[in-house]
Amino acid sequence: MKEIISDKFSILFGNDGYLKFANFVHENNFKKILILTDENTKIHCMDLFFSKIKKINKKIAETISSSSYNLSVEPGENAKNLKTSNQIWEFLTKNGFKRNDLIINLGGGMISDLGGFVASTYMRGIQFINIPTTLLGMVDASIGGKTGIDLNSIKNIIGTFQFAKLVLIDVDFLNSLSEKHIAAGYAEMIKHSLICKNHEWEKISKINSLEDINSEMIYKSINIKVDIIMSDPMELNNRKYLNYGHTLGHAIESYLLGTNREILHGEAIAIGLVLETYISHLKRNFNLKLTKEIKNHINRHYEIIKFNQESILNIIDLLKYDKKNNNDEPMFVLLNNLGEVKTNQSVSIKQIKEAFKFYQN
């Protein structure tokens, strides 16, 4: 996989990526490095990370080890909040971290979001590197400069735009993941295939098992997102395409957060993709046969979650917190066709209810 370099960020891959990462650490001579993980990542990924660095440059591995601190937070979306942010800020302050030090976010999407937010606000900005260890982190969360935390179960309501200095992608980390977490990342790959004009859906739709996902598909998915970000880094125009499936997906995720029905971000986005594809059919005349094909593919890989009418109304109520809203009206990203995206689309409550009925039947 060829590295992706822009004036705003660099995405590195595999052994070459570790080499450039090692050179970056050496050239900057960081006095202190925080390796931020969650408790699961520390157990399953920390040793692999250091073994990879050691193979590339034993001296740099020793330098990182001797100058690094590790802070592990609770796993899961519930930890992505001000309380945890404050815990990390206090840790950085207590241990004398300065603006010329470094944070390495080693973990999934939650760690990328949280660590990036903390780094972008500590002393008005400290350099950070994202090393995603989940599929969702690799194809989505670690890339693009969006950081964020949740407030009162409202998804990513507090955050910044701040690009990681480097993003290092190593697919070997995926070996530690459960099928459920692979599926969570796959939802973002599906989304990328739907908003892309290069017939990516034809390839994605042929995946019968999550074991069929390969490095080439992951690389292609990353490039679809990168191409969009490069053209609109601050989400003023077509970067909004990446929110496809997320308007209702985020609302569903927020609604279920902290309950005994809590689901992963990617699982919520998978539902959002079905709902918003059907709404695209209702509003933009998106092909119904293709809509059913997308629904069937997603339902093959994800458990169907049932929502009663009260739950649906509560989910709709949460749309008022969506960041794309125009005043108090939710604005949706919809499709005319594969790769033909329309932003700032208003949708009625009746259409949302019809979409939930379509999803659940």
Q: What is the pLDDT of residue 323?
A: 87
As a whole-number percent, the residues of the chain with pLDDT over 70 amount to 100
**Which token pair is 252?**
């569903």
**Which token pair is 134?**
């989940």
Q: Report how far residue 25's alpha carbon sits from residue 20's, in angstroms, rounded to the nearest whole number.
A: 9
DSSP sequence for 71-92 = EEE--SGGG-SHHHHHHHHHHH
Q: Which residue has the tokens 């005043």?
A: 327
Q: What is the pLDDT of residue 326?
A: 85
Q: What is the pLDDT of residue 225?
A: 97
Could you tell me the pLDDT band of residue 328, with boundaries at 50, 70 and 90?
A: confident
Q: Each residue of 42-64: pLDDT tens digit?
A: 999 999 999 999 999 999 999 89
Q: Is the dihedral of CA 110, 113, 116, 118 positive or negative?
A: negative
With both helix axes pointing from N to C terminus, report the angle between 179-195 and 215-231 in degrees, rounded to the nearest 10: 50
Q: Each residue of 88-144: pLDDT tens digit?
A: 999 999 999 999 999 999 999 999 999 999 999 999 999 999 999 999 999 999 999
Mean confidence (pLDDT) of the chain = 96
Q: CA angle, 77 as apex, 71 and 81 as ends, to 5°?
A: 65
pLDDT at 156 over 90: yes
Could you tell me the pLDDT band of residue 331, with boundaries at 50, 70 and 90?
A: very high
With both helix axes pointing from N to C terminus, report the angle between 265-284 and 288-301 in degrees, rounded to the nearest 10: 170
Residues 343/331, Cβ–Cβ less than 8 Å: yes
pLDDT at 324 over 90: no
Q: What is the pLDDT of residue 314?
A: 97
What domains lie within the chain, and their CATH numbers?
A: 4-176 (3.40.50.1970), 179-360 (1.20.1090.10)
Residues 224/144, Cβ–Cβ less than 8 Å: no
Residues 221/189, Cβ–Cβ less than 8 Å: yes
Q: What is the pLDDT of residue 241?
A: 97
Q: What is the pLDDT of residue 327?
A: 81
pLDDT at 202 over 90: yes
Q: What is the pLDDT of residue 8?
A: 85
Q: Report how far residue 132's alpha carbon sits from residue 151's, in angstroms, rounded to the nearest whole number.
A: 23
Cα separation values, 240 from 235, 294, 314, 320, 332, Å: 6, 21, 24, 17, 9
Q: What is the pLDDT of residue 198?
A: 85
| pTM for the structure as a whole | 0.95
Q: Each residue of 182-195: pLDDT tens digit?
A: 999 999 999 999 99
Q: SS3 letters for 165-231?
A: CEEEECHHHHHHCCHHHHHHHHHHHHHHHHHCCCCHHHHHCCCCCHHHCCHHHHHHHHHHHHHHHHH
User: How does strand 340-345 pair with strand 332-337?
Assistant: antiparallel
Query: What's at 101, amino acid-wise?
Result: D
pLDDT at 153 over 90: no
pLDDT at 259 over 90: yes
Q: Which residues pair with 71 in a beta bridge?
A: 36
Q: Each residue of 31-44: pLDDT tens digit?
A: 999 999 999 999 99
Q: Report how far residue 277's alpha carbon sits from residue 345's, in angstroms, rounded to the nearest whole number.
A: 13
pLDDT at 230 over 90: yes
- Residues found in the chain: 361
Give start and end residues of each alpha helix (H) in the chain: 14-28, 39-44, 46-56, 58-67, 82-94, 109-121, 135-136, 179-195, 200-204, 215-231, 246-256, 265-284, 288-301, 309-318, 349-360
107, containing H or E segment: strand 102-107
Q: Each residue of 284-323: pLDDT tens digit?
A: 999 999 999 999 999 999 999 999 999 999 999 999 999 8
